[in-house]
């Protein structure tokens, strides 16, 4: 288990992460999303033990991460920025990582390179961006660490390769209890693979919740009210909160927070001309939650 306890990190006069606390459960995929400059990459580097917390602490299995070699050997970071030693081939790179990670599985790594059609003896500098990303992922999975941390994992991968990587992650979760943290701006990709979501904004945490629970308590409703009817009864119903509403003629589109059963009952009692509850996507949840704290396109002057 990864426990992030009241962590703060600043660079000069810029506070990148501010008093942030999250618990990441074992054998799960935790999706880390956030607004631009929210502190995702800084947090990832602290979890990986690259940055030291200014305040608070990050513990993995009750041990501090920073300058703890034993803990770091159980963490593999795949950064957004790709860097490879200029003259290395995938084979040489695998041999190097095998000296850093005691459980590195060279046989699996070579098989995966072959399965993905990557030449183990070709200089990596000649690979495309997507091919380099594949090499990073295969190294991370072959290292056999308990924790795999991915910053913009799927960037540069085509749909077939994205599916293959997701399948490998899912298999390792089942077979050896892998815990994966994925940071991405591609919310559709995260929605397919994540168990839990953490939403960051301005260095703080807006929410950290199981994705299914989050969707269960947040809904989009489209409705047409009776003539001269209003939303007053919905707005005053205990347990329901209207986060956003939009009108196009008589068609209202609402984003509501509350138990689905309660929402259904409230609209049934209104005797609407029409109403329908539509599942929210992760992208719509992101937009709704960040609007609550003033992060909205309406605040931008075009």
Question: Comparing 2-212 with 217-299, is the CATH topology the same?
Answer: no
The residue with tokens 């000649």 is 126
Which two tokens mark 68?
């703890």
Residue 185 CA: distances (Å) to CA of 31, 215, 258: 10, 19, 26
Helix (H) or strand (E) holding 244: strand 241-248
Q: How far apart are CA 128 and CA 193, in angstroms?
A: 25
Q: Enumerate the domain spans of the chain.
A: 2-212, 217-299
Fill in the DSSP letter of residue 126: G
CATH class, range 2-212: alpha beta
Q: How far apart are CA 162 and CA 168, in angstroms?
A: 10
Q: What is the pLDDT along the chain (302 residues), one digit of tens a residue?
A: 999 999 999 999 999 999 999 999 999 999 999 888 889 999 999 999 999 999 999 999 999 999 999 999 999 999 888 788 878 999 999 999 999 999 999 999 999 999 999 999 999 999 998 899 999 999 999 999 999 999 887 777 888 998 999 999 999 999 999 999 999 888 888 888 899 999 998 899 988 989 888 888 889 999 999 988 889 989 889 999 998 888 998 999 999 988 888 999 999 988 899 999 988 888 888 888 887 777 665 555 44
What pTM was computed for the model? 0.86
Q: Quick one: pLDDT at residue 302? A: 43
User: Tell me: the pLDDT tens digits for 247-296?
Assistant: 998 999 999 988 888 999 999 988 899 999 988 888 888 888 887 777 66
The CATH code that applies to domain 217-299 is 3.30.70.250
Those residues whose C-beta lies under 8 Å from the C-beta of residue 50, and which sit 6 or more positions away, are: 77
Q: How far apart are CA 98 and CA 96, in angstroms?
A: 5
């Amino acid at each position: 288990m990864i426990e992030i306890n009241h962590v703060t990190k600043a660079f000069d006069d810029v506070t990148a992460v501010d008093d942030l606390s999250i618990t990441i459960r074992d054998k799960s995929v935790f999706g880390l999303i956030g607004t631009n400059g929210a502190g995702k990459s800084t947090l990832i580097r602290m979890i990986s033990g690259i940055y030291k917390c200014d305040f608070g602490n990050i513990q993995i299995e009750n041990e501090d991460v920073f300058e703890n070699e034993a803990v770091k050997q159980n963490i593999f970071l795949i950064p957004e920025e790709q860097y490879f030693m200029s003259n290395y081939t995938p084979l040489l790179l695998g041999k190097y990582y095998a000296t850093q990670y005691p459980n590195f599985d060279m046989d699996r790594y070579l098989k995966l390179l072959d399965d993905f059609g990557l030449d183990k003896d070709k200089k990596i500098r000649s690979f495309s961006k997507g091919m380099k990303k594949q090499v990073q992922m295969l190294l991370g999975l072959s290292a056999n660490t308990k924790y795999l941390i991915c910053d913009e994992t799927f960037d540069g991968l085509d749909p077939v390769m994205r599916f293959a990587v997701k399948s490998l992650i899912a298999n390792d979760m089942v077979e050896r209890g892998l815990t994966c943290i994925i940071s991405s701006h591609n919310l559709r990709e995260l929605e397919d693979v994540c168990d839990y979501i953490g939403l960051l904004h301005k260095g703080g945490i807006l929410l950290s919740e199981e994705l299914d629970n989050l969707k269960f308590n947040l809904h989009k409703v489209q409705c047409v009210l009776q003539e001269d009817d209003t939303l007053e009864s919905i707005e005053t119903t205990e347990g329901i909160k209207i986060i956003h509403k939009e009108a196009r003629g008589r068609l209202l589109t609402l984003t509501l927070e509350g138990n689905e059963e309660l929402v259904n009952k409230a609209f049934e009692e209104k005797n609407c001309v029409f109403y329908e509850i539509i599942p929210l996507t992760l992208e719509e949840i992101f937009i709704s939650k960040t609007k609550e704290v003033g992060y909205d396109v309406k605040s931008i002057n075009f």
